[in-house]
Amino acid sequence: MKVNTQSVNFNADAKLIQFIQDRLDKVETFYTKVISSDVYLKVENTSSKENKIAEIKLNIPKDNFVVKKQCKSFEEAVDSACSSLERKLIRRKEKMRIQY
């Protein structure tokens, strides 16, 4: 799957980008028709510790899924967002199975 990563107001290191790629490859095992994904990483200027935001947009045929999570680290936010996407994809797959 093609993963486009954009980091806003900072430069993401190669380790983080590789982690995102690996985690999204695991998401693809739940739904094989994934076209691509866009990942937006942002740092919010607040005093709270949970200021890292990961927004993932998953492109599948005839639909898009968008999940946004805010956590203490980007790894945690990406992992949490991917878990949500996995649940959404499983739900969609079950709906498609019921229709046919």
Q: Please report the pLDDT score of residue 95 as a whole number.
A: 87
Report pLDDT digits (tens) over 72-98: 999 999 999 999 999 999 998 898 888
Of 62, 74, 63, 64, the C-alpha closest to 6 is: 74
Q: Which CATH superfamily is domain 2-99 in?
A: Ribosome hibernation promotion factor-like (3.30.160.100)
Q: Domain boundaries in the chain?
A: 2-99
Is the pTM higher than 0.95? The answer reads: no
Contact present, 69 and 36 (Cβ < 8 Å): no
Spatial distance between the Cα atoms of 27 and 29, rounded to a whole number of angstroms: 5
Report pLDDT digits (tens) over 42-55: 998 888 888 999 99
Average pLDDT, the chain: 91
Which two three-digit tokens encode residue 68? 């946004």
Report pLDDT digits (tens) over 55-72: 999 999 988 999 999 999
Q: Please report the pLDDT score of residue 64 as a whole number.
A: 93
